[in-house]
Amino acid sequence: MLYFAYGSNMNTRQMAARCPDAVPLGPARLNDHVMVPRLFADIEPRDGAETYGVLWELDDAALDALDRYESAPRVYRRGLATVDLLAFPIGQPAPEAVPVAAFVYWMTAGTRRERQGQPFSARYRATCAQGAREYRLPVNHYEEP
């Protein structure tokens, strides 16, 4: 199964520790969604916006590990979305964006209310930025404010 990571799970080292059998497929984009800092990364619908991340191939054990890490379904909820795979294999541009169905995590409404306006910590920001750089993704969301 496929998973679209847009926060700290873009970081290869972090994902290797959490989900050792996960395979990065490459950079991807979720259209009509914007990334929002709420202590940790969240996404919400916004026409015309783009959120960049990494597409991973997972097995059931990795998905269970991610559910535990993301405190699903209490803090984040998991659902399916269509994302565009932008390069495959990694580093090679796809002839065109390839739409695929992937699992994505969104914060629950209660968590959004609790964390609204809370910035990323320096450590979290650095972890996300490192992951974004690994896959040649924009890092502007994760730079110092």
Tens digit of pLDDT for each residue in 53-82?
999 999 999 999 999 999 999 999 999 999
pLDDT digit string, tens, across residues 4-24: 999 999 999 999 999 999 999
| Residue 90 confidence (pLDDT) | 58
Cα-Cα-Cα-Cα dihedral of 69, 82, 133, 108, to 10°? -40
Query: What is 2-140's CATH number?
Result: 3.10.490.10
Local structure of 107: helix, strand or coil:
strand
Phi, psi for 7 (deg, rounded to 5): -125, -130
Give the pair of three-digit tokens for residue 63.
């998905």
Q: What residues does each domain of the chain span?
A: 2-140
Q: Which residues contact 74 (CB under 8 A, 6 or more apart)?
A: 108, 111
At residue 62, the 3 state secondary structure works out as: helix
**pTM for the whole thing?**
0.92
